[in-house]
Amino acid sequence: MDESILLFNLKLDCISRTSRLNESIIENLLAQLNRHRDGDTDVYWLTVARINELALLCAGTYADNCEFRLVGDLLLNPRRVLIHVRGSLRPVTKIRHRGLTEQFRHVADSPLEVIEWLKRETLQEIKEEALLPSLYGLLSSSGRMEKRYLDSVTERKTRIAALSGFLASSGFEDGADIHRWMKNAGPADRRMVDSMLCRFDCGIFFEMGEDIRRMAGSYSEGSRFLSGAMVPGDPGRVPDGLWDKERRVSG
């Protein structure tokens, strides 16, 4: 096994223990991993999954603190979109977080005319999806990941989106706003909001890291996160209880 990927996983361990996680750091980690990719190996795909876990942790923390735009960047907002203009050889890169009517306001006298021009003269091409759907696409198309792990990723992304929608529609502006509200709310309301918060931990992330270290010493070792993983005493089946770790830590 390439030792560089083991060192890279040690770097992931260190990064997970800081509060520095953001979209740019996670993108850079994925780019660094791909620079020394050593074939289509289980260890490589577990490492991609660990980066995915960091992205989920980051998005969940953003959602818990009402950082709605940052949640949207990880979950929905494409990282790179090209606008192809009729008659032009070179596409225009869409400015992220800026509406097309604003970016192309120079082409017409009114917003409505700009919209009509965009419909008539342009085509949009998504070159880079938002980070979480991009990572999910990599993992799901690899054929290496256990379906129940992929389902857990979808469940957590859904939880992040649902929490963000609820907090935004309820008028919460930041984490301190939630904390103040929780202090004054009744028990039933507190339990309801508390049950919706993500509060993801690094349990799966570190378990994957342990699997990688074991696999470095013995190619016979597997991981419950990989398709076809065996569980001692019950070949071919992953007991339901093993998946409880991916839930959240209760408040």
pLDDT of residue 1: 58
| DSSP string computed for 102-126 | HHTGGGSSSHHHHHHHHHHHEEEEE
Domain spans of the chain, in order of start: 3-75+131-231+239-246, 80-128
Model pLDDT for residues 145-177, shown as the tens digit of each residue: 999 999 999 999 999 999 999 999 999 998 899
For residues 162 and 206, give the distance between their C-alpha atoms in angstroms, rounded to a whole number. 26
Q: Which two tokens stand for residue 201?
A: 């931990």
Amino acid at 235: P
Model pLDDT for residues 16-43, shown as the tens digit of each residue: 987 789 999 999 999 999 887 666 789 9
Q: Please name which of 80, 77, 92 lies closest in space to residue 123, comparing C-alpha atoms.
A: 92
| DSSP string computed for 131-187 | HHHHHHHHHHHHS-B-HHHHHHHHHHHHHHHHHHHHHHHTT--SHHHHHHHHHHS-H
Q: Which residue has the tokens 């991609």?
A: 48
For residue 234, give the DSSP letter. B
Residue 114 · residue 108 · CB < 8 Å: yes
For residues 118 and 37, give the distance between their C-alpha atoms in angstroms, rounded to a whole number. 41
Model pLDDT for residues 222-246, shown as the tens digit of each residue: 899 999 654 443 333 333 444 444 4
Model pLDDT for residues 167-210, shown as the tens digit of each residue: 999 999 988 999 899 999 899 999 999 999 999 999 999 999 99
Find the helix or strand (DSSP H, E) in which 64 lies: helix 42-64
pLDDT of residue 245: 46
Q: Work out the mean pLDDT of the chain and round it to a whole number.
A: 88
